[in-house]
Structure 1
C-alpha cells in the first residue's frame, strides 16, 4: 500500500511538472507571438513589404533643343536597354559571371559593355535597382532574350528614351553630345537625382545646360513576385522632365557652313550683331554625335582620335590661329584713337620696311610695294608696310590694349565651356612664357597679326561684331530661350556672367565710319582684296581678308605654295558683316592651309551671307505677296 501511495504521489508530482512545463512553453509561445504580432508588427510588415515591394527610381525625360526657327536639333527616341538586377540573380552577385556567360549564348555582348557594366555595378546604387549592360537592343535581340527569360532570372529589358540628333553631321561642335556617365562625373553629380540616369551632357550646349535639360527624378513603388517580376505599380511620383531650350543657332545656316567646309580643315562662326546670338558654329572635319550616345566602339573612337585631321578637335572654340590681316582695322583704330598717328598719316611703301638701315627687310605681300599709302588704302589693299610703320611707333602696350577691347586674349562666349583664351602677347606674357624681353620686331609682327598673337574663330567673330556695331557689345551666347522664356544673359538662369569687353568708345565716333568705308571697299572697291567675292552682290558687304603664314620663309626666299607640303601652306581668313549698314550677320571664316583669305575664305563667307540675307528677303517678299493677296481678297 505504501508503495502504491508513493507511486501515486510521484505520478501527481510528475503530472504537475509536466503541466508546468506545458504552461511555460505555451506562455513562451504566446508571449513570442504577442511580441512578433504586437510589439514587432511594424518591423515585420516592413520586412514583408520589402520582399514583395520595391522602390524604383524613374529617369526624367531630357529636355529638347531647338534652333532659332523651332527646328529640332536634339530630341529623344525610344530604346530598349538590357539590365541585370544582381539581388535577383540565382545565387546573388556571385553568379553574375555565370549569367553573363548565359547571355552571351543568347545575344552578342561586347567586351567593352561588360567592363562598363562591372564598373557601374560597383558604384553606389539602391538595392534591387537594375544595372545597365547593353543599350539599344534590336528587335531580334529582344525576342531572343524573352524566349530564354526562364533561364535568365534577374535579367530585364527596360524601355527608355535616349538622345537623338536628327542632323548628325556638322552640328556636334556647336551642340556637343550626351554620353554614358563615367566614374569621375558620377562623383560630381547628385547621386539621388541621377539614380536612374545613364547619360549626361559631355560637351558644348549639352554640358553647359545639363541642369536645365536633365529634369528631376521620379519614383514608383511596385509589387513583385518571388522571381522579381513586377506584378503591379502601387504608387508613383512622376519625374519632372527637363526644360526645352531654344538656341540662336540657325539650322539652315549651320548646314550650309558644314557643307562649305566639307573636304577642308577649318571653322566658321556666325553671330547676329544685334543680339550676340551664335547663328552658326562649324568645325571641320567633324563627326557624328549619335555614335557617342549609346557607346562608340573602341575601333571607331581610336580612328577618330588618331586621325591626322583631328575631327574631335573643336577648331571654332579651341583652334589658335594667327589672325593675320584681319586685325588691321583694329590696329588702325589703335593708332588714330591713341593719338600716336594722325588720321591723315601716310607712308611710302617700296614693298618692305626696315627698322634700321641695312637691317632685316620686313616684306609686304606685294613685290614692289603700293606706293603712297594712307589708312583707307592700307585696309582696302591690306598693305603690310603701313602696319609695320605704326606698330613700330606704338610698341606693344597700345596695340594689346585695343586688341583686348575687341575680345582677343579672353573667352568671349558665355555658354561654351570648351572655349579658350588663345594668346594676346604682352611684354609680361613673353617674359613669363619665353623668358625673353619684348623686341621691336615682335611689335612689327603683332601689327600684322602674326608672331606670338593667336585667336580662335569665335574671338575673331566677336571682333567683327564689335567693328560692325561701332563698339557696342552684346554677350556672345548660344542660348535664346528656356521653355519659351527669353534669356538675355546667362546670369538670368543663375550662372556667372563671364568677363566681357566693355563698349568701346572712341574719342571721335567718325573714326568708325572711316573703318567701315574702308572695309566696304575691301569687298566692292576696284582694288579691294575681297572684290571678287563681293562682286554682283545686291547688298553691300564690309569685310577684311587675311593670309596667315604657317611656315617661316628665309630672308631671300620667296613663298611658292606648289613647293610646300599642303599642311605647311598659308591659312586663309576672313571677317566681315552684311549688310554693311544695319548688319544682321557677322562672320569669321578660317581655312587651314587654304592659301589666301581672298581666295579660300571670302567666297565661303559670300555664300553664307546670301543664305542669311537673300533667304530672309525671299521670305519677306513671300509674306508681302501673301498679305497683298489677302488684302485683295478682303477688298473683293
Structure 2
C-alpha cells in the first residue's frame, strides 16, 4: 500500500514537471514569435515595406524628346517622329529560333532585321531589351497588340525616332546619333549622367549631335506603375514628365549651303563662309558628303564599306580635320605682316626678274614670268612669288609666326564641333619639338622663303583660313566662329545666343589694312581672279592660291602627265562686299589645279546667291560696274594689266626639298635645300 502511494506521488511530480516544461516551451515559442514579429513589423518595417512596394510597383523611365536642329531661317536639319518598335528580352522570350518561326506570321521581320537583332543580342545582356523591328505602322502595331499574350518577353513600344530630312546636305555639321556603346556608358557614368539615360538607347556620335548632346538630350522622366505578379500594369501611381531637349538654332543658311555644295560639281573639297561681324558660320561644306540617316539604327555592312573604303573619304570633315598648305592665299597676311612690322613700305618697288636668288640658289615665279619693278599692291595682284620670297628672310620665321598666330593660323578656333586639328604654323621652336634628330631640328633660311609663300611646313585647316579672312575683313576684330547661333527653350521659345562679344582685337594700323583690302579688290578686278568675276554686280576682294601636293624635285609640272590625286590644290579666299564685308569665304578644290580658274568660280556662285538675297549698297554696285560717284584716284601700279596667265603656283627651288613635316595631310614640300641660317 505504501509502495503504491509512493509511486503515484512520483508520477504526479513527473507530470507536473513535464507540464511546466511544456508551458515553458510554449511561452518560449510565443516569445520567439513575438520577438520576430516585432522585428519584422517595427525594426525592419521601412526596408521591408520598400521591398514590398518594389515587388508591386514598377518604375518605368520615360525618355525625353530630343531637341531639333534648324538653320537660321527655321528650316529643319534634324527632327523627331513617333513610331512603334518591337523590343525583346531574350531571357524571357524563350528559344529565338522558335520566336522567328511564329512572330513573322503577325509582323514582317526581314532577314536584315533578324541579323541585326542577333548581333545585338550577342553584344548585350540576355536580360536587356533589344530592338527587333522599327517603324511598325498602325496596322502592324494593332495586330501584334491583340496577340501579344502569345509572345512573352516581346513588347510593343512607342518611341521617338531621329530623322535628317536634308540627307547629305550639311551632314558633317549636323552629324548623327547611334546606339549607346560600352564606351559611351563608361563616359556617362564618369560624368554622373548615366541615370539621365535610363530608357534611352541612342546618343550623339558625330557633329553637333555629339558636341551639343548635353543640350539636345533633355531630362528623363519616370512613371510608377502598379503591376501584377506577372508584371502586367494595373494603374499609374505617380508620373514625372520628361523635359524635352533644347533646340539648336544654327548660323547656317541652308540655301547657301546647298548652292555651295552643288558648286563643287562632284569634286572633292571644302568651303567655309563666315559673317565677319558676328562669327556666324553661314556655310560649312565638306565634299563628298554622306547620308546621316544610315547611322540612326546601325549602318549595314554594305553601306559602311562603301563609305569607309571610298578613296574620296566622305566621312572626313575636311574643313575641320584636313590640313593643307594654302599657297598664295597666305600672301595677303605676309604683306600685312611686312607693313605692320616695318619691314617694307607699300609703295617701295622691288625688281622681279622672274626669280629670287638666295645663297646661290634660285626660287622662281610660276611659269618663270618676270614682272619687273613691283610694289606690294601689284605683287598681290599678279601673285609675284619673287616679291614674297624676298620678304621671308626680311621678316624671319619667328616674327612671322607671332604675327600670324592671333589670326588663328595653326591654332584651335574653338568652333563648336569635335575633332578640330591644330595644323602647323612653323617656327624655330616648333621644329625643335617636332623632330628628334638634331640635324632636322635646325631651321634653314631657305625654309623661311617657302613659308612666306604659303608652302613648306605651313599646314592649316580651311576653317583657319576662313577665320583669318574674316578677321582681316573685320579690321582685326576676332569673333569666335560658331555654328550654333542660339539655344532655344522648347517650352517658352526664348533663344539664348552663344557668341555675342569679340574674343579680342588685333592691334593693326587701319591704313595698312585698307591697303591690303584695296590690293585684294584689284586681284578680282584686274588680277588672277578677274575672269571668274566678270560682270559681277558687286565688289569682291580676294586672293587665289595653288598649292602643291608633292615635290617636283626640280621638274616641270604637267597636270595631264601625273595622277589626278597628285595634282595641285586650287584655293581662294575672299570677302564681299569689299567696302563693307558681310561674308568671308575660304575654299579648296582638292587636286583641282589653278585657284583662279577652278576655285574662284565656286566662290562666284556662292556670292551670286548670297548677295542677291542680301544686296550690296547702290554705291558699291556703281563702283563694281565702273561708275564711281567720286573722282577716280590716280592710277597705281596695280592698274597695269598683269600677264594673261592666272597661275599663282610657286615652282620648286632648284635643290631637293626638305623632309615632309610629321602629321601634315597633303603638305607641300617645296623648299630650298640646306642653306645656312
Report TM bin, short chain: 0.7 to 0.9
The residue correspondences of 1:87-166 to structure 2 (distance < 5 A) are 89-90=91-92, 98-105=94-101, 106=103, 107-108=109-110, 109-121=113-125, 131-134=129-132, 136-139=134-137, 142=141, 146=145, 149-166=148-165
1:50 aligns with 2:47: no
Greater RCO (CA < 8 Å, at least 6 residues apart): 2
**Match of 1:267?**
270
Cα distance in 2, alignment partners of residues 614 and 249 from structure 1: 17
For these two proteins, the number of residue pairs brought into alignment is 590
Cα distance in 1, alignment partners of residues 388 and 58 from structure 2: 74
The residue correspondences of 1:165-204 to structure 2 (distance < 5 A) are 165-189=164-188, 190-204=193-207
**Match of 2:422?**
421
**Match of 1:450?**
455
CA deviation map 1:6-59 (0-9, x unaligned): 8x9899989979996997699589848955984466555444432331011111
Contiguous gaps of at least 5 residues in structure 2: 104-108, 489-493, 619-677
CA contact (8 A) 1:335 1:394 kept: yes
CA contact (8 A) 2:479 2:503 kept: no
**Match of 2:567?**
569
SS in 1 for 2:134: coil
CA contact (8 A) 1:60 1:214 kept: yes
TM-score (norm 2): 0.80
The structure 1 residue matched to 2:605, chosen from 604, 607, 628, is: 607
CA contact (8 A) 2:480 2:503 kept: no
How much has 1:299 moved relative to structure 2? 3.0
Contiguous gaps of at least 5 residues in structure 1: 91-95, 123-127, 493-499, 621-636
CA contact (8 A) 1:316 1:458 kept: yes
Cα distance in 2, alignment partners of residues 431 and 21 from structure 1: 94
CA deviation map 1:449-498 (0-9, x unaligned): 011101111001011101111211111111211123332439x9xxxxxx
Cα distance in 1, alignment partners of residues 307 and 579 from structure 2: 43
CA deviation map 1:545-586 (0-9, x unaligned): 10011122232x321111111000010001101111111111
Cα distance in 2, alignment partners of residues 486 and 236 from structure 1: 30
**Match of 1:559?**
557
How much has 1:388 moved relative to structure 2? 0.6
How much has 1:152 moved relative to structure 2? 2.6
Cα distance in 2, alignment partners of residues 290 and 510 from structure 1: 51
**Match of 2:247?**
244
Cα distance in 1, alignment partners of residues 143 and 100 from structure 2: 11
CA contact (8 A) 1:282 1:316 kept: yes
Bigger Cα displacement from structure 2, 30-39 vs 76-85? 30-39
SS in 1 for 2:386: helix
SS in 1 for 2:172: helix
Bigger Cα displacement from structure 2, 340-349 vs 569-578? 340-349
CA contact (8 A) 1:170 1:283 kept: no
How much has 1:287 moved relative to structure 2? 0.6
CA deviation map 1:221-263 (0-9, x unaligned): 0122333232322210111111112111111111222222341
SS in 1 for 2:311: coil
SS in 1 for 2:184: helix
Bigger Cα displacement from structure 2, 431-440 vs 598-607? 431-440
How much has 1:529 moved relative to structure 2? 0.6
1:291 aligns with 2:294: yes
TM-score (norm 1): 0.85
CA deviation map 1:490-540 (0-9, x unaligned): 9x9xxxxxxx9742222x321111111111111112xx1111121111110
CA contact (8 A) 2:85 2:136 kept: no
Cα distance in 1, alignment partners of residues 265 and 292 from structure 2: 17
1:378 aligns with 2:379: yes
The structure 1 residue matched to 2:507, chosen from 502, 505, 508, is: 505
Cα distance in 1, alignment partners of residues 444 and 68 from structure 2: 53
**Match of 1:486?**
496
The residue correspondences of 1:8-23 to structure 2 (distance < 5 A) are none
SS in 1 for 2:374: strand
Bigger Cα displacement from structure 2, 21-30 vs 446-455? 21-30
